[in-house]
Amino acid sequence: MLAARLLPLLIVALGFTSVSAQSYNNNLDFNSTCSSISSQIPSIVPNASNVTSQLVLAGTNLTFPNSAPSCNRPSQVVEADICRVVMNVGTSDRSGIRFEAWFPREWSGRFLSTGNGGLGGCIQYEDMAYGSLLGFATVGANNGHDGDTGAPFLNNSEVLKDYAFRSLHTGVVIGKNLTHTFYGSPHNKSYYLGCSTGGREGLKSVQDFPEDFDGIVAGAPAADFNNLIAWMGHFLNVTGNATAERFLPPAQWISLVHPDVLDQCDEIDGVKDGVIEDPNLCKYDPSGLVCSEGKNQTDGGCVTEAQAEMIKQVFEPFFLQGELAFPRMQPGTENLPIFYTGQMFMYPRDWLQFVVHSDPSFDVNTASDQDWILTRDLDPFNISTWSGDLSVFRDREGKLLTYHGQADDVITPINSERYYERVSETMNLDSTDLDEFYRFFRISGMLHCSGGVGAWEIGQNLAGAGGSIDHLNLDPESNVLMAMVRWVEEGVAPNAVLGTKFVNDTVDEGAQFARKHCKYPLRNTYDGVGDPNLKESWSCECVV
């Protein structure tokens, strides 16, 4: 019923004229340009090799037989007619990127670069499909190596340099040139869309390559990268391995701790819906889980004093040498206990072995604060991505939109608040001043980049924009990429981001609820009387 009421509000906004794609040049012989461009490329792109171009018609299911299995991207349905250009580009005598440009037949005049994830190593074909469907000349690169692994960094700082910043920037320079070459006129505005490592790449551009983009959408950024890696790794020290007395098996994080967190914190916002609207307000205390008479393993389970102490520790900030290194994990994320398995998570493991110690046999089980201090201080190629001075980007009227799921179990969303505060302090600007070029939205109930119990569909990728061409939601009120286009091209900045939760995350099953996510530092606040599934029952309140 509710779904039937909400759905009309969410219907595809393809009619939104100023951002809809239009054919740039009807006379362009798209097919023949596509076949001839590959022969031109070696003379215009330095260090290009193995260049191919291929006309791909809408509906084609492209397969990538050579894609690394850890990229988990064996195929992609292309939703619009494109010319797909693929090449290798050397970045040094012992490094290079694999680069793709997807030029849509129906070009909007806009340029878009996609980003990467984790320690990848992976072209995000789903984002290439999304961008080109929306009419952007869209590029992506493999970040200098193949696969979601740190192994190629071993004793090769050039590959690390590509990962830290050079792959993305190189792809942008080449991509803009090829866009001009292909269509015969330069792009009008350039955009960036990425999340996680892709979010970090977006911030890197704002900080160090402020000319690259007019508008940047950076989700869940892996900013303060070195401390983030250390934080991910330090949980092993907190939880102990599977033989430690304090260790709690992942199954019990899910069956015991998560429900207890929700009991204590779900209704702080006034609504029992599994969404902790602002997890900063959750002061979780696991002591109620401790075994006692009348509370034992047979009736629902319980934990020992040592386990309860460990659980408390998990939700504490991470300090190194007495200083905050990284903010706490937010409660509400423990149903995805990826860091509490008793083994070190893959990214800090790889980083210690292939970057910090240059020794694949380094035993990560012995990792101590000393290793995390080394990790923090090494900071190859300024990969920390933590500069708070965005003045060059601001002065050339660039726009930055960041968002972060409040139920993110991979990168604590507090880190995005911290970066916002850092920029505010560095540039001596309050949030009203920052509004001019930098806005941050907290997406309640969203996991890492997408998914979750909250209203997480915000157009951050194809899955978050309805999932398919039949359901595409391009309304700038509820699509962060289109919100950025409107901000850059019409000067209309987003004040909130309308998210949608579909029943079983399936658009055909209708909307379960919608919620307007607030611009930081405002907090989304329930009015206490209205239907909590309606966005009108919530408002963005100033809480400081």
CB of 213 to ligand NAG, least distance (A): 16
Q: Which residue is nearest to ligand NAG (CB)?
A: 109
Contact flag: residue 296 with ligand NAG (CB under 6 A): yes
CB of 476 to ligand NAG, least distance (A): 18
Window contacting ligand NAG (CB under 6 A); options: 54-62, 217-225, 267-275, 436-444: 54-62
| Catalytic site includes residue 196 | yes
Contact flag: residue 509 with ligand NAG (CB under 6 A): yes
Window contacting ligand NAG (CB under 6 A); options: 83-91, 267-275, 316-324, 437-445: 83-91
Contact flag: residue 358 with ligand NAG (CB under 6 A): yes
Give the tokens for residue 239. 């939880």
Query: Which amino acid type is present at position 117?
Result: G
User: DSSP character for 497?
Assistant: E
- Taking CA atoms, 1 is separated from 45, 249, 498, in Å, by 56, 40, 20
Nearer to ligand NAG, 250 or 521 (CB): 250
Binding mask 379-408 for ligand NAG (x = CB under 6 A): --xx----x---------------------
Binding mask 175-214 for ligand NAG (x = CB under 6 A): --x--xx---x--x--------------------------
Give the tokens for residue 416. 């995005």
Selected from 4, 8, 17, 299, the binder of ligand NAG by CB under 6 A is: 299
Instruction: Say which of 448, 450, 478, 517 is annotated catalytic.
Output: 448
**Number of C-alpha atoms within 13 angstroms, CB side, residue 343?**
6
Nearer to ligand NAG, 36 or 188 (CB): 188
Rounded CA gap, 181 and 336, in Å?
46
Binding mask 125-154 for ligand NAG (x = CB under 6 A): -----------------------------x
Contact flag: residue 294 with ligand NAG (CB under 6 A): yes
Window contacting ligand NAG (CB under 6 A); options: 134-142, 296-304, 344-352, 466-474: 296-304
Q: Taking each helix axis from N to C terminus, what angle separates 369-378 and 225-239, rounded to the nearest 10 degrees? A: 170
Nearer to ligand NAG, 90 or 521 (CB): 90
Contact flag: residue 427 with ligand NAG (CB under 6 A): no
DSSP output for 57-89: -TT-EEE-TTS-GGG---EEE--S-EEEEEEEE
Instruction: Say which of 408, 416, 450, 478 is annotated catalytic.
Output: 408
Please check whether residue 394 is in contact with residue 215, taking contact to mean a CB–CB distance below 8 angstroms: no
Which residues have CB under 8 Å from 420's CB, separation 6+? Answer: 402, 434, 438, 440, 520, 521
Please check whether residue 376 is in contact with residue 320, taking contact to mean a CB–CB distance below 8 angstroms: yes
CB of 396 to ligand NAG, least distance (A): 18
Going by C-alpha positions, the residue among 180, 199, 171 that lies closest to residue 100 is 171
Which residues have CB under 8 Å from 203's CB, separation 6+? Answer: 216, 218, 221, 223, 385, 402, 419
Give the tokens for residue 306. 């040592």
User: DSSP character for 477?
Assistant: T
Q: Please, what is the Cα angle at 157 between 152 and 163, to 5 degrees? A: 65
Contact flag: residue 155 with ligand NAG (CB under 6 A): yes
CB of 31 to ligand NAG, least distance (A): 4
Contact flag: residue 530 with ligand NAG (CB under 6 A): no
Rounded CA gap, 296 and 282, in Å?
26
Contact flag: residue 24 with ligand NAG (CB under 6 A): yes
Residues within window 462-491 making contact with ligand NAG, judged by CB under 6 A: none
Window contacting ligand NAG (CB under 6 A); options: 87-95, 218-226, 265-273, 431-439: 87-95
CB of 47 to ligand NAG, least distance (A): 4
Q: Determine the size of the site formed for ligand NAG (CB under 6 A).
A: 43
Contact flag: residue 39 with ligand NAG (CB under 6 A): no
Contact flag: residue 309 with ligand NAG (CB under 6 A): no
Contact flag: residue 341 with ligand NAG (CB under 6 A): no
Rounded CA gap, 383 and 365, in Å?
25
Selected from 17, 26, 292, 298, the binder of ligand NAG by CB under 6 A is: 298
Rounded CA gap, 485 and 472, in Å?
16
Contact flag: residue 23 with ligand NAG (CB under 6 A): no
Q: Looking at 240-368, list the stretches that DSSP marks H as alpha helix, in order from N- to C-terminal side.
A: 250-252, 258-265, 305-314, 346-350
Please check whether residue 456 is in contact with residue 405, taking contact to mean a CB–CB distance below 8 angstroms: yes
CB of 181 to ligand NAG, least distance (A): 5
Give the per-residue SS3 of 366-412.
HCCHHHHHHHHHHCHHHCCCCCCCCHHHHHCCCEEEEEEECCCCCCC
Contact flag: residue 237 with ligand NAG (CB under 6 A): yes
Phi, psi of 83 (to 5 degrees): -105, 120
Catalytic residues: 196, 408, 448
User: Which positions touch ligand NAG (CB under 6 A)?
Assistant: 24, 31, 44, 46-47, 49-50, 55, 57, 61, 63, 75, 77, 88, 90-93, 109, 154-155, 177, 180-181, 185, 188, 237, 241, 243, 294, 296, 298-299, 358, 365, 368-369, 381-382, 387, 503-504, 509
